[in-house]
Structures are given as structure tokens and as C-alpha cells.
Amino acid sequence: MEEFDKKDGFRAPEGYFGDFTSKLMDKLSEEGPAFPKKEGFTVPEGYFDGLHNNIRGSLDARETKVVRLNRYRKYYFAAAAVAAVVLLFFGINGQGTQEPTFEDLANSDIDAYFERYELGLSTYEIAEVIPVDELEINDIVDHGLEEEHIMIYLEDNIEDFEELNLEIDE
Amino acid sequence: MLTEETLVQQLKEPDSRSKAFELLVNTYKQRLYWHIRRIVLDHDDADDVLQNAFIKVFKNIDGFKGDSKLYSWMYRIATNEALSFLRTKSKRLGLSDGALQDRMVESLQADVYFEGDAIQLKLQKAIATLPEKQKLIFNMKYFEELKYEEISEILETSVGGLKASYHLASKKIEAYLRQE
């Protein structure tokens, strides 16, 4: 076949492709949508007037209040503290009360905590702190997975069960 | 009129902080409120989120380095507060994001602070169908009339990307309104 010159003589204005994307985007966004600009939302009367005071109130409530102790008050508080310690010592000692541990938490409490609060961790970050290599399937699944159950499942669900050539410990 | 740098400086100084914060709230309360309201739709929720956003601004002003404009930084805080509020709400109610959006729009009909007519309600329904980012961009451009450059700084997205998203969002809303 005869060889043709690949050049076809056409050319584009200088800088054409550099501006093309932004020109196109401008054109796209110039096409104004044809729907109403009013949304219908309203606010309670005087809402914006009282807003600063409301925010100031919330801020003050969140900041810890520091109460300065008067000199004589110190002794009252010291005496009350000593009395409380003595009471606690005699009251608690002997009952064998222990500090609550992680095991004391009900699973439902832990579930509820994770449901309610954002952990802020990605799955990769979670995977980094959980020793996946050391986990067994029974650590995750509630009911122990017995070999017998697996066999029954395979028998029921696999068409050519025999072809699996499983070694069964009898 | 106070420049932004002066206002930030006054917010960082303990002696002038309180007065400067009042000025900041009064300057931005309406703009931020409507920005949040368009995300959470309900007035009481918007009020909670707006107060939390201003409290975050107040508590974190020392960390504001001035790399972006103050209002962009505040818009970013308000946007994040509103979105995380919705995420917590959907988890608490056990709903997917889409189901929560549907419920929020349905609730508008009984909302005393929504006086929109049938067309405006339909428009809100259409906006609710958009993906989160397109919804933000559409509201900021169409209703808040922010410039692309401003939205770009707030959402940290390129202007070209914003224009494309806005165009897509508008077309989807038009198609929804035609179809209904």
C-alpha cells in the first residue's frame, strides 16, 4: 500500500487546548437551572438576635468552673475529705469490692458505644491494632464451628461431595 | 471596618477575645446558619450544629494559621459539623444515608419552619437524591451564590471539578423535576 504523509495541514490556535477545559466548564455552568430560587425555610422570630448570647451560654456551660476556696473553707473541706476517706476505708474494706474491669462491661454496652460514637478509624487502622494473624474463626463466630457441622453443610450443598476427596478422621 | 487579620489577632488575645467573638458571630451567623440549614434541613438541628461550629471556632482559633481565609475555615468547620451530625443521626436511628435524607425531606411537610410550596418541596426532594458532595456544591453555588474560587477553598476541590459537579447536579435536578 502506498505510504501517505501523516500530516494533514490542520492546526489549532495557539493555547487552544490549554484554555479548552476551563472554557468548556464555564459554558457548562453558565446554563442556569430553571427552578425556583426560594426554598421555603424560615427561622423563629428573633432567632438571630439572641444567637450570640445562646452560644456564649453554651460556651460558659462547657468551660469548667473554678471555685476559689476561702481560708476557713479549706479546713472544712479537709475535715470532710478525711471523714470521707475513713468512711470509705471501713465501708468498702471487707466487702471485697473491686474496680470495674473491661470484662464487667456487658457486650450490649460495648456494642452501643461503637454504634453511638464515631471511632474515627479507617478499616486499615483498625486492622493494624487487631492481631488478625492470631485470631481463630471461633474468636469471631459465637458458636463453635464443629468439623461435623462443616461436613453436613458440604454434603448438603456440594453436588459431587465424593470428588472433594476429604480425609475424614474416624 | 476591621480587617480579617485584625479580627483573628483580637480573637487570639485574651483581653479582646470576647468582644471579637461577638463581632465574629454577628458577622457570620446568618451565612453559616443557612449553609448548615440546607444540609440538615431542620431548624433545631441547624441551631445545634451552628452553636457547636462557633464553639469549635472559638476553641480552635489559636490553631488558625491563616493559610486560608477565616470564612473558608469557618465554612469548613460548619460543613464538617453538619455532615458528622447527620452521620451520627443516621447511626442512632439505624438508617442508611439515603433513608435518612428521605425521612428528613418527608419531615419538611410537617415542619413549622418550612413554608415552601409544592414546587419548593419537590426541589428539596430532588436535591436529596444527589450525592453528598454534589449536594453541597449545588447549594453553595445556587442558593448561597458563592464564587467557584470560594467553594474551591472551602471544599478543597479544583474549580474545574466544581463546575462539572454543579452542571451534573443541575441536570439531575432538572431531570428529577421533569420526571415527577
Per run of 10 residues, the mean pLDDT along chain A (length 170 residues) is 60 74 66 74 90 86 60 65 76 60 72 69 65 64 70 77 64
Residue B108 has pLDDT above 80, yes or no: yes
Please name the residues between 71 and 90 in chain A that touch chain B, using a CB distance below 8 Å.
Answer: none
pLDDT-derived band at B3, boundaries 50, 70, 90? confident
Provide the pLDDT for residue A99: 65
CA distances from A51 to A48, A73, B27, B56, B85 (A): 5, 39, 12, 15, 20
Residue B33 has pLDDT above 90, yes or no: yes
Q: What percent of chain B has pLDDT over 70?
A: 99
Q: Which residues of chain B are within 8 Å of residue A59 when distances are taken between CB atoms?
A: 55, 58
> Residue ranges of the alpha helices (H) in B41-158?
43-60, 70-93, 97-108, 118-128, 132-138, 148-155
Closest CA to A47 of B160, B177, B102, B51: B51
CA–CA distance, B27 with B42 (Å, rounded to integer): 22
Please name the residues between 110 and 169 in chain B that touch chain A, using a CB distance below 8 Å.
Answer: 113-117, 119-121, 123-124, 141-143, 148, 159-160, 163-164, 166-167
Q: What percent of chain B has pLDDT over 90?
A: 74
Identity of the residue in A22, A48, A54 whose CB atom sits nearest the CB atom of B160: A22
| Cβ(A62)–Cβ(B55) below 8 Å | yes
| Cα torsion B103, B113, A117, A109: sign | negative
B93 in A contact zone (CB under 8 Å): no
CA–CA distance, B142 with B138 (Å, rounded to integer): 6
Q: Which residues of chain A are within 8 Å of residue B17 when distances are taken between CB atoms?
A: none
Higher pLDDT, A86 or B151: B151
Average pLDDT, integer, range B44-58: 93
Query: Has this prediction a pTM greater than 0.80?
Result: no
Provide the pLDDT for residue B86: 95
Average pLDDT, integer, range B141-147: 93
pLDDT-derived band at B90, boundaries 50, 70, 90? very high
User: Does ipTM surpass 0.85 in this model?
Assistant: no
CA–CA distance, A39 with A37 (Å, rounded to integer): 6
C-alpha cell at B85: 451530625
| Cα torsion A152, A154, A157, A161: sign | negative
Provide the pLDDT for residue B73: 94
Please name the residues between 20 and 49 in chain A that touch chain B, using a CB distance below 8 Å.
Answer: 21-22, 25-26, 28-29, 31, 33-44, 47-48
